[in-house]
Amino acid sequence: MITGVFRDASRPLAERVADLLSRMTREEKIGQLGQVRMSDYEKNRSAYLDGVRAGKWGSRILAETAWAGDGGASALKVEQLNEIQRVAVEESRLGIPILYGRDVIYGHRTVFPIPHSYAASFNPDLVQRALSAVAAEASSEGVHWTFSPMLDLVRDPRWGRVIESPGEDPYLSSRMAVAAVRGFQGEQFGGDKSLLACAKHFAGYGGAEGGRDYDTTEWTDNTLHNMILPPFRAAAKAGVASMMAGFNDLGGTPVSSSRALMRDWLKGELDWNGFIVSDWGSIFDLIGHGVAGDERAATLRAFTAGIDMEMIAGFYERNIGALIDSGEMPATWLDDAVSRILLAKFRAGLFEHPCTDPSRAATTLRHPDHVALAVELATQSMVLLKNKNNSLPLAPTLKKFAVLGPYAEARREHLGSWCLDGRPNEVTSILDGLRTAAPEKEFITANAAFSDACVDVARQAECVILCVGESHLRNGENKSIAELALPPGQEQLIAALGGLGLSLIVVDCSGRYLPSPAAEAHASAILHAGCLGTEAGTAIARVLLGHAYPSGKLPMTIPRSTGQIPLYYNRKTVGKTVTFVDRYRGYEEQLLTPLYRFGYGLGYTTFTLANQQLSAATMSADGAVTLRATLTNTGARAGAEVVQFYICDPVASTSRPGRELKGFQRVELAPGASRVVTFKITAAELEFYGARFHWEVEPGEFRLGLGFDSAAPLPLTLTVMAS
């Protein structure tokens, strides 16, 4: 085995990278840029191991298809991963370990809520702890690198991939981005219980036209910088090890060929030192997009743009050498790309512990601490949308419940559509959750979710808990819907049971936030549960029975109908809504307002905010002021409220959103208790990307306020003085 500085863990990483790079042949360097599948491993074992020995691949993706989340992926085999790794480190010339990547998006064997649900917790600390448990589990089975967090800002819930996204707001998404990066990677790289993270899909993929997956995106420069890029910037600042280039065309340039976004902005302007991986075949897709005629041209575009590692297609392996020889590509770019990938491997500690102890999984997977965290995050991720006459929590006097609908006993569905390693038999169903939490009560159900017997069963109970929602097969990648509605039959089921005159509690387990006219009309309460993972039934039972309280807030606006899309809270102010203030109508046949707004969610108690005040009415652009108020739990039960801080810049060099979230705090309070909440305001809260094409604070007046959702009044004025 070759020894040298690169093997010395006490040396700075930059020195180790430079030393190793200086020993590599061009073929070995190009090899580091490739990621392969190694499908049918047993059949092709000797060919794969020969390739590993020759240093042909830097990484292996632990999935067989591009849609492994829904389509299923082979279970991880630590012995097999160790066998390959041993060949890489002991039999290849330089002993460079292979980086194993897998889509460990929000759970491993303990499955947590999907990101669209956990964003509703408005609790980044808890999300960070949850994802560090996920990292511990996945790394115990040999995974080094996860393709998460997904940070695509979304405004169209028809798009099936909203379930992976933290929602419509750049600030909330940025907070979740930092939590995810720290959770997966640990506060410091290199622990063998952590994973390298990958922020994706860089950038703008969430704007797929018509909500059709992979479709064209058309974000303007202004929206791109103010809305789409901030979560990626936050992830870069938090030290995310990698990013993934998206599939989408963005205003004429497919992002996988965008030098302006990757080489210039991410690597240049932000000076971020991680590496960029393509999405599955996204370099191949440059041919389909019509910006490259063949694989050589596609390679040139993608590599020039700054993609360091290619997922799957093999274009880099076959073309980069020739492109350097012809002078179309400088050899320094190859060195830069390889250095970034090696840096990630050093950061992950792979040179120190390339293999995984096969006994670790047994003591790590579904560790009771992980399960407890999953119950807590699932509880905090639910959003109570409606609660007529305090129907929830269920009154202690009620003894007999009918638990009905397609989700009453469902298991796999709670795992969501990007889950490779969760096991349906380890999921607690809603019915089981209720029976375990309240053995003294009676929970009856019907044999079939849509049978007319449901009505009969409901009549035997005092209260109906109707569990509806989309299955995991109706959303996720390449699964979009044209109409924003519950799946066929569910509206009728809600209406039929609603007609019985019993208290009807609708629990919606859809991965996205769908309007339900029948639930609006008939339900006493609507609890949006989302996809909560393995502990779904336990968490839902806790909230229904009042053993815990709901506190989630919507990370995405719920429109009244498909026709309102796009509808998001941080829309620009529109001239005519001001000048035609009394006559502006928007739609002839529908209100302009959403069904439920961003940031909204009920609890089991009531809160007030009093004495909102600023520490000063003016500040300089580099100064700071404090906004404070007193939060009081005025109800009779304990609860948590998310205090949200919104600002508006009414006159600026470009049009600006009517309001923007710039801070939040989730506060738990006992009945009658109060707490002073404070928010620091600095340039970071006030600056934006304006007419001069860079981020700055423009002097002038800002309106500010705190509240419990995105309709919070903005009663305060802060004047930023010109410097």
> Residue 63 or residue 532: which is nearer to ligand NOJ going by CB?
63
Q: Which run of H or of E encompasses 198?
A: strand 198-202
> Residue 63 or residue 558: which is nearer to ligand NOJ going by CB?
63
> Residue 148 or residue 557: which is nearer to ligand NOJ going by CB?
148
Asked if 291 and 304 count as a contact pair (C-beta separation under 8 A), the reply is: no
Q: How far is Cα 52 from Cα 693, in angstroms, rounded to an integer?
A: 47
Eight-class DSSP state of 389: G
| Cβ partners under 8 Å of residue 490, min gap 6 | 405, 406, 468, 469, 516, 518
Interface residue with ligand NOJ among 106, 147, 202, 272 (CB under 6 A) is: 147
* Residue number, nearest CB to ligand NOJ: 147
User: Does residue 316 touch ligand NOJ according to CB under 6 A?
Assistant: no
Annotation says 279 is catalytic:
yes
Asked if 325 and 97 count as a contact pair (C-beta separation under 8 A), the reply is: no
Part of the chain binding ligand NOJ (CB under 6 A), chosen from 60-68, 285-293, 455-463, 550-558: 60-68
Interface residue with ligand NOJ among 156, 279, 376, 685 (CB under 6 A) is: 279
Asked if 177 and 235 count as a contact pair (C-beta separation under 8 A), the reply is: yes
| Cβ partners under 8 Å of residue 682, min gap 6 | 623, 624
> Residue 403 or residue 420: which is nearer to ligand NOJ going by CB?
420
User: Does residue 280 touch ligand NOJ according to CB under 6 A?
Assistant: yes
Part of the chain binding ligand NOJ (CB under 6 A), chosen from 63-71, 74-82, 446-454, 594-602: 63-71
> Residue 147 or residue 600: which is nearer to ligand NOJ going by CB?
147
Cα–chain-centroid distance for residue 387? Answer: 28
> Residue 311 or residue 526: which is nearer to ligand NOJ going by CB?
311
> Residue 63 or residue 536: which is nearer to ligand NOJ going by CB?
63
Min separation Cβ 598 and ligand NOJ, Å: 25
> Residue 63 or residue 224: which is nearer to ligand NOJ going by CB?
63
Secondary structure class of 13 (helix, strand, coil): helix
- Nearest to residue 464, comparing CAs of 436, 444, 449? 444
Give Cα separations from 159 to 155, 156, 211, 428, 711 (angstroms): 9, 6, 4, 28, 26
SS (H, E, C) 526-555: EEECCCCCCCHHHHHHHHHHCCCCCCCCCC
Secondary structure class of 26 (helix, strand, coil): helix
> Residue 63 or residue 341: which is nearer to ligand NOJ going by CB?
63
Min separation Cβ 280 and ligand NOJ, Å: 4
40 backbone φψ class: left, alpha, beta (φ>0; ψ -120 to 50) = left
Q: How far is Cα 539 from Cα 371, in angstroms, rounded to an integer?
A: 11
Within 332-351, the residues that bind ligand NOJ by CB under 6 A are: none
Within 401-440, the residues that bind ligand NOJ by CB under 6 A are: none
Eight-class DSSP state of 558: B
- Nearest to residue 192, comparing CAs of 314, 360, 57? 360
Min separation Cβ 24 and ligand NOJ, Å: 27
Within 643-672, the residues that bind ligand NOJ by CB under 6 A are: none
Question: Which listed residue (156, 213, 279, 508) is catalytic?
Answer: 279
Q: How far is Cα 433 from Cα 263, in angstroms, rounded to an integer?
A: 50
User: Does residue 63 touch ligand NOJ according to CB under 6 A?
Assistant: yes
- Nearest to residue 510, comparing CAs of 411, 413, 375, 384? 413
Part of the chain binding ligand NOJ (CB under 6 A), chosen from 5-13, 62-70, 293-301, 450-458: 62-70
Part of the chain binding ligand NOJ (CB under 6 A), chosen from 61-69, 224-232, 495-503, 533-541: 61-69
SS (H, E, C) 501-527: CCEEEEEECCCCCCCCHHHHHHCCEEE
Q: How far is Cα 574 from Cα 577, in angstroms, rounded to an integer?
A: 6
Eight-class DSSP state of 3: -
Interface residue with ligand NOJ among 28, 70, 103, 169 (CB under 6 A) is: 103
> Residue 131 or residue 507: which is nearer to ligand NOJ going by CB?
131
Q: How far is Cα 43 from Cα 570, in angstroms, rounded to an integer?
A: 54
Min separation Cβ 184 and ligand NOJ, Å: 14
Residue 613 backbone phi and psi in degrees, to 5: -150, 155
Q: How many residues does the chain have?
A: 723
Q: Which run of H or of E encompasses 318?
A: helix 315-325
Min separation Cβ 668 and ligand NOJ, Å: 35
Burial class of residue 287, CB neighbours in 10 A (0-12, 13-18, 19+) = middle
Min separation Cβ 147 and ligand NOJ, Å: 3
Asked if 437 and 541 count as a contact pair (C-beta separation under 8 A), the reply is: yes
Interface residue with ligand NOJ among 200, 233, 560, 666 (CB under 6 A) is: 200
| Cβ partners under 8 Å of residue 439, min gap 6 | none
Interface residue with ligand NOJ among 52, 68, 297, 348 (CB under 6 A) is: 68
User: Does residue 66 touch ligand NOJ according to CB under 6 A?
Assistant: yes
Min separation Cβ 117 and ligand NOJ, Å: 18
User: Does residue 54 touch ligand NOJ according to CB under 6 A?
Assistant: no
Within 555-614, the residues that bind ligand NOJ by CB under 6 A are: none
Give Cα separations from 535 to 129, 375, 429 (angstroms): 16, 6, 8
> Residue 242 or residue 644: which is nearer to ligand NOJ going by CB?
242
Residue 149 backbone phi and psi in degrees, to 5: -90, 150
Within 114-143, the residues that bind ligand NOJ by CB under 6 A are: none
The count of residues interacting with ligand NOJ (CB under 6 A) is 9
> Residue 208 or residue 558: which is nearer to ligand NOJ going by CB?
208
Within 458-487, the residues that bind ligand NOJ by CB under 6 A are: 477
Min separation Cβ 26 and ligand NOJ, Å: 28
Q: Find the farthest-apart pair of alpha carbons in the chain and give their distance in angstroms, rounded.
A: 81
The residues that are catalytic are: 279
Site of interaction with ligand NOJ (CB under 6 A): 63, 66, 68, 103, 147, 200, 279-280, 477
